[in-house]
């Protein structure tokens, strides 16, 4: 267990909170198109303020390649956060330096530092840069789960120079739910994996096989497994260099691993394309979604489970009609009254498209971080926090 912000004495202290304000911006960098990540940080910020702390917020935004880029400034985030909190948010001209140090927030005040990645030293986890960040505050809190798989100055390096480092409320929740479903999950425990490539999910598959009772595979990655079994896959997306690996994984998993038994197929991938359902994929056609029989089989297993881990869509859900399988599975998970943890951006979009986000136990905010967690990899930004 890691120290939580709730375990810290914050009265009169300056708290450095690493947040994830890596928000999508419209061209030109002035307009935020989704403030979901900013809103996700609000409970931790408000808690620190209520406890009498002065708050310094730090984040990266985009890939400025180690030098200032006005289009990737965090200024729009300061404006949006101020609107959400209905209180001033001061914007620093940089994230280190004497001018920034002079802006130290008094209790009840908020200062947002400029984009950490305007300095190449951030991603290099540079010791001197880490010290400069640490010198700004009394205590450290990481609430950016989406960056916890990166060993950068703001997620790992500066912690060496802080007396205590704790998880924020969002990070706490991520660790609680991801630990619940991976360390001692309510059983039967089912994992649903989708997406395009087996290669992206090798470590996840191998780790999940150690503790789940069933592993349901959908999405384009299923066709690599099916081809490895000798089944016809037509023009479906296949990683031909991963066929031996797919055979090995299936041999290791035995009857734990389940593949689609029917498919929604079409001659080309485009929205509104003519399609049909087939148990065998004909030549000249490609599998683009799981079929109704597969939905029914997967649904019966999910409904009988006690916990579900889901990462990756079941088809090309961005292009109807190939979204039906993913939406159907989302509704089954939501209606099954199970402990459900969904990770990855596409899975979250699917859950929201199905209108069932409020029925999922936890939707992870960190795509890459949640994948690494599910792979059994210790996240550097979590490992660096102070143990309870």
Q: Which positions are annotated as active-site residues?
A: 37, 197, 345, 368
| Residue 263, helix vs strand vs coil | strand
Q: For the sheet with 276-278, list strands across it.
A: 276-278, 263-266, 286-290
Which one, of 245, 243, 193, lies nearest residue 220 by Cα? 193
Locus of tokens 């267990």: 1
Report residue 61 as tokens.
């935004």
Long-range contacts of 303-306 (CB under 8 A, 24+ apart): 303/332, 303/336, 304/188, 305/187, 305/188, 305/189, 305/190, 305/213, 305/214, 305/336, 305/338, 306/185, 306/186, 306/187, 306/188, 306/189, 306/338, 306/339
Phi-psi region of 336 (alpha: psi -120 to 50; beta: other; left: phi over 0): alpha
H helices present in 18-119, as ranges: 36-50, 75-85, 98-101
User: Alpha-carbon torsion 215, 218, 221, 224, what sign?
Assistant: positive
Locus of tokens 């930004």: 381
CB atoms within 10 A of CB 301: 17
Calpha distance 218→193 (Å, rounded): 6
Which one, of 352, 230, 232, 239, lies nearest residue 280 by Cα? 232
Calpha distance 274→265 (Å, rounded): 9
| Residue 167, helix vs strand vs coil | strand
Calpha distance 376→112 (Å, rounded): 33
Cβ neighbourhood burial of 240 (10 Å; 0-12, 13-18, 19+): exposed
């Amino acid at each position: 267990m890691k120290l939580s912000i709730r375990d810290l004495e914050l009265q009169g202290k300056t708290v450095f909170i690493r947040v994830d304000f890596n928000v999508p911006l419209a061209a030109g960098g002035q307009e935020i198109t989704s403030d979901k990540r900013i809103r996700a940080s609000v409970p931790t910020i408000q808690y620190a303020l209520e406890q009498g702390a002065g708050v310094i917020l730090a984040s990266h935004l985009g890939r400025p390649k180690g030098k200032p880029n006005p289009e990737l400034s965090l200024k729009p985030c300061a404006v949006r956060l101020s609107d959400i909190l209905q209180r001033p948010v001061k914007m620093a001209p940089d994230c280190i330096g004497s001018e920034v140090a002079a802006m130290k927030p008094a209790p009840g005040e908020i200062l947002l530092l400029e984009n950490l990645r305007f300095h190449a030293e951030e991603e290099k986890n540079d010791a001197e840069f880490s010290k400069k960040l640490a010198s700004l505050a009394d205590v450290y809190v990481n609430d950016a789960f989406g960056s916890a798989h990166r060993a950068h100055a703001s997620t790992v390096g500066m912690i060496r120079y802080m007396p205590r480092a704790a998880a924020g409320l969002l990070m706490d929740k991520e660790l609680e739910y991801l630990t619940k479903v991976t360390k001692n999950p309510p059983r039967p425990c089912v994992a649903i994996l989708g997406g395009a490539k087996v290669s992206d999910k090798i470590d996840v598959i191998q780790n999940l096989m150690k503790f789940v009772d069933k592993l349901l595979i959908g999405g384009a990655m299923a066709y690599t497994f099916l081809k490895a079994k000798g089944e016809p896959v037509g023009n479906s997306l296949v990683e031909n260099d991963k066929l031996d690996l797919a055979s090995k994984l299936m041999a290791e998993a035995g009857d734990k691993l389940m593949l689609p038994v029917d498919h929604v197929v079409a001659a080309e991938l485009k929205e509104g394309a003519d399609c049909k359902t087939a148990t065998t994929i004909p030549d000249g056609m490609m599998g683009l979604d799981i079929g109704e029989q597969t939905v029914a089989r997967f649904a019966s297993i999910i409904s009988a489970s006690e916990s579900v881990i889901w990462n990756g869509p079941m088809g090309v859900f961005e292009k109807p009609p190939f979204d039906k399988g993913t939406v159907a599975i989302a509704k089954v998970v939501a209606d099954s009254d199970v402990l459900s943890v969904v990770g990855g951006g596409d899975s979250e979009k699917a859950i929201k498209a199905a209108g069932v986000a409020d029925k999922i136990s936890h939707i992870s905010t960190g795509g890459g971080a949640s994948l690494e967690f599910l792979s059994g990899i210790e996240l550097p930004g979590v490992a660096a926090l102070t143990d309870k």
